[in-house]
Amino acid sequence: MREIIFDTETTGFDPRNGDRLVEIGCVELIDRRETGVTFHAYFNPERDMPAAAEAVHGLSIQFLSDKPLFATRVDELLEFLGDAPLVAHNAAFDFGFVNAELARAGRAALDMARMCCTVQMARKLHPGAKHSLDALCTRYGIDRSHRVKHGALLDAELLAHLYIEMTGGRQIGLGLAASTASMAASVAATPAPSRPDRPFREPRPHMASAAELARHAEFVAGLNQPLWLDTV
């Protein structure tokens, strides 16, 4: 199954208030494994960059001023997304910004039924814990030491690792249980080899003889303050 893990960076929190999408990063998974295929783009937001937003992702309006408009690369983005399920952290936020940009470009919105939110997954798996990307990477032992600031592609790559771990780890699709069961059934169905030339032997007794029990009792009686007597 093909899935797309994605993340966005923006000028603020609400596209209804004029905030714009400035970066998107997408990572392709097939059967819950990264293929190495990605989509990454910066966009000119056609507005200023608030200092608070720039402090989060480090994208200045000077850097973005020569980047393409979203509408310029919308077809490329939609082709990459295809009809795959779309996984994001706090997915409603990312869907909101992408759909706002799609509307500006005269395109249909992404179907919210395609949305998979890893924050909601984390709340079910770890109620009462912190659910930020940083906190969950720490919980699952995912290295994020190179994450100095937020970046859409970097965060999508971290989220891909996290999503795989949260949905059972990398071995969930290997079918080990089925293979083991099949092998066990095959072994059980194989008849034991017949050895008519081997004479029958009575099972040997494994009980201690009276003489062995007497020697053991004598040995125990000679022990100096054995530890088990401390509990008597």
Task: Give the start-to-end residue ranges of the domains of the chain.
Answer: 2-166
> What value does the mean pLDDT take over residues 42-58?
96
| Whole-structure pTM value | 0.72
Q: Identify the pLDDT of residue 196.
A: 57
Band of residue 186 on the pLDDT scale cut at 50, 70, 90: very low
The domain made up of 2-166 is a member of CATH 3.30.420.10: yes
The structure tokens listed for 205 are 């007794």
% the chain with pLDDT above 90: 68
Does the annotation mark 57 as catalytic? no
- Tell me, what's the pLDDT at 142? 92
The CA distance from 161 to 147, in Å, is 14
Mean pLDDT of 202-224: 79
Which of 65-74, 160-169, 172-181 comes out lowest in average pLDDT?
172-181
pLDDT digits (tens, 9 = 90+) for 93-152: 999 999 999 999 999 999 999 999 999 999 999 999 999 999 999 999 999 887 767 889
Give the model's pLDDT for residue 179: 44
Residues 106 and 71: their CA atoms lie apart, in Å, by 9
Of the two residues 216 and 33, the one the predictor is more confident about is: 33
- Do the beta carbons of residue 10 and residue 98 sit within 8 Å? no
> Taking residues 2-18, what's their average pLDDT?
97
Of these residues, 126, 150, 206, 216, which one is catalytic?
Answer: 150
Return the pLDDT at 152.
Answer: 93
Q: How far apart (Å, rounded) are the C-alpha atoms in residues 194 and 197? A: 9
Interatomic CA distance for residues 164 and 121, integer angstroms: 12
- When the pLDDT of each residue in the chain is averaged and rounded to a whole number, the result is 87
Q: State the amino acid at position 61 in one-letter form.
A: I
Contact 22, 153 (CB under 8 A): no
**Looking at the predicted structure, is the pLDDT value of residue 189 above 60?**
no
Cα(4)–Cα(171) distance, integer angstroms:
19
Out of 105-109, 186-190, 196-200, least confident range: 186-190
